[in-house]
Structure 1
Amino acid sequence: MTKTLGVPRPDQAAYMLRAASEDAGRAYKQRLLDLLDLRPGHTVLDVGCGPGTDLPALAERVGATGRVIGVDRDPAMLATARERTAATSTVELREADAHALPVVPGTVDRAKIDRVLMHVRSPADVLAQLRTATRPGALVALVEPDWDTLAVDSEDLETSRAFTRYTTEKVVRHATVGRSLARLTTRAGFRVETTIATTPVFTDFEHADHTLGLGRNMQQAITEGHIDRTRGETWFTGLAQGPFYASFTLVTVICSHP
């Protein structure tokens, strides 16, 4: 069966909710919440909360005396988040950019930012905002991929490598921010408490195509002249025939406000 390049980009809210519901997504998010050490009464900040994927779990852990603040700059994402948290009075949603967090300085006990820094204009400026928002003793959890480590198995290894290069150089703004988290958070004035690297593995082609954008990003690479059309299309068709393997490194850092 021949697979077609150029599948339309999925709805972002649906994409994020699906990714969070899959085994790998559930596993790292559960560990992230555990490492944050959330307690009743805490004020928690979710920067780039998207469609509210994690807001219900955060609200459950801080209880009726706690408060969860979800911040996102996308009104459509916030609309979905409002639907998902309508019955939870402790969740507040605020439309704002991560570079200008709408919270009173020094009032946040816990904060998380999950796969957002790779997209922002300045990761350092966002971390400075988090440093200002958090109180002494607060914990901050950050999760980011390192797309330089994206490995896609193919007999045409050079095209796999070219695809990874295109992803890191053209598709993702800060593609290697995952490996830089400890350095960036330390420069922002935080103290690194824990650093963990995990490797999400994809053995199902359809799942990987949806999550990693194999087809749509290859089509873009071909259109922009970075990869030869025949070679790129042959590579993509070969991936669909299986067996399939792809992986990348996901870095989690827990840091504290001294």
Structure 2
Amino acid sequence: MSTTLGVSRPDQAAYMLRAAADDAGRAYKRELIDLLDVRPGQTALDVGCGPGTDLPALAERVGPSGTVIGVDRDPAMLAEARLRTGALPAVEIREGDVHALPVEPGTVDRAKIDRVLMHVAEPADVLAQLHLATRPGALIGLVGPDWDTLVVDAEDLDTSRAFTRYTTSELVRNATMGRSLARLAAGAGFTVETVFATTPVFRDFQDADHTLGLGRNVQRAIKDGRIDATRGHRWFAALSEGPFFASFTLISVICRRCER
């Protein structure tokens, strides 16, 4: 097994598809879509749809009389989403920024934004856009991780903690977004109905390295002087020898746009 530190970022479409296909990804996505109660004939919006992972499931729920709109700004993601949904006439793929959604006001019955708000410049503005796009009574699903909860088991606990601190302070723009979702939703005028947490658990080192970026991110931390090079290399090599454990908390919120 290789213990070389990764330095390159993986293909994002492949990364997102793989993350959605693992057990934890399938479980929370299924629960999220179930709680959104998507019905035939409705218009469902997937904000930051990426490679279109969830669009077929939404299309199945809205049926032939409904519409699913997937919005993303990345051309590579849009191309993958179009390939994935080309045979689904209910699906529309639109290029656009989450801060200025290409959707007519008051036309969306169900909406979701999954692990996107942690990356955006102004999360409150994105939620304001969702409020504008949705009809009164619409249900909205929000999902975000809380990277302060990232734990990686290692004998060198100090380096594991330094890795988590580096992740939250340098790598993710809004690293604690998950814990803030309910508060932000209420501030945007939504009524919070359900909050639940999922804890993805990684016991396979290779899967964790791919999803959590252990090698490439500890390399960045070393370069930035946040982790000692010798300790960082030793920490990463020890992780690869197993047994391995890592986890973090993913928080999902279901909220409703008020009737008025």
TM-score range, shorter chain: over 0.9
**What is the one-letter code of the residue matched to 1:20?**
A
Contact 2:7 2:217 in 1 (8 A): no
Question: SS of the residue aligned with 2:8?
Answer: coil
The equivalences for 1:117-196 within 5 A come to 117-196=117-196
**What is the one-letter code of the residue matched to 2:238?**
G
Question: SS of the residue aligned with 1:252?
Answer: strand
RMSD over equivalenced CA pairs, Å: 0.8
Instruction: Give distance in 2, aligned partners of 1:203 and 1:9.
Output: 22
Equivalent position of 1:254 in the other structure? 254
Instruction: Compute the TM-score of the two structures, normalised by the length of structure 1.
Output: 0.99
Contact 2:151 2:248 in 1 (8 A): yes
Equivalent position of 1:4 in the other structure? 4
Equivalent position of 2:79 in the other structure? 79
Structure 2 gaps of 5+ residues are none
Instruction: Give distance in 2, aligned partners of 1:234 and 1:119.
Output: 31
By how many angstroms is 1:9 displaced? 1.5
Deviations, residues 168-197 of structure 1 (Å, cap 9, x unaligned): 000000000100000000000000000001
Instruction: Give distance in 2, aligned partners of 1:5 and 1:201.
Output: 22
Instruction: Give distance in 2, aligned partners of 1:158 and 1:230.
Output: 13
By how many angstroms is 1:6 displaced? 2.1
Instruction: Provide the aligned length of Structure 1 versus Structure 2.
Output: 258
By how many angstroms is 1:100 displaced? 0.1
**What is the one-letter code of the residue matched to 1:86?**
G
Question: SS of the residue aligned with 2:148?
Answer: strand
Identity %, equivalent residues: 74
Instruction: Give distance in 2, aligned partners of 1:99 and 1:3.
Output: 40
Instruction: Give distance in 1, aligned partners of 2:156 and 2:22.
Output: 29
Contact 2:47 2:98 in 1 (8 A): yes
By how many angstroms is 1:29 displaced? 0.6
Question: SS of the residue aligned with 2:53?
Answer: coil
By how many angstroms is 1:7 displaced? 4.5
Instruction: Give distance in 2, aligned partners of 1:108 and 1:37.
Output: 13
Instruction: Give distance in 1, aligned partners of 2:85 and 2:207.
Output: 28
Instruction: Give distance in 2, aligned partners of 1:223 and 1:2.
Output: 20
Instruction: Give distance in 1, aligned partners of 2:134 and 2:60.
Output: 21
Runs of 4+ in 1 over 3 A off after TM superposition: none
Instruction: Give distance in 2, aligned partners of 1:148 and 1:20.
Output: 21
Instruction: Give distance in 2, aligned partners of 1:246 and 1:201.
Output: 6
Instruction: Compute the TM-score of the two structures, normalised by the length of structure 2.
Output: 0.98
Instruction: Give distance in 1, aligned partners of 2:96 and 2:202.
Output: 34
By how many angstroms is 1:163 displaced? 0.2
Instruction: Give distance in 1, aligned partners of 2:18 and 2:161.
Output: 27
**What is the one-letter code of the residue matched to 2:96?**
A
Instruction: Give distance in 1, aligned partners of 2:139 and 2:2.
Output: 49
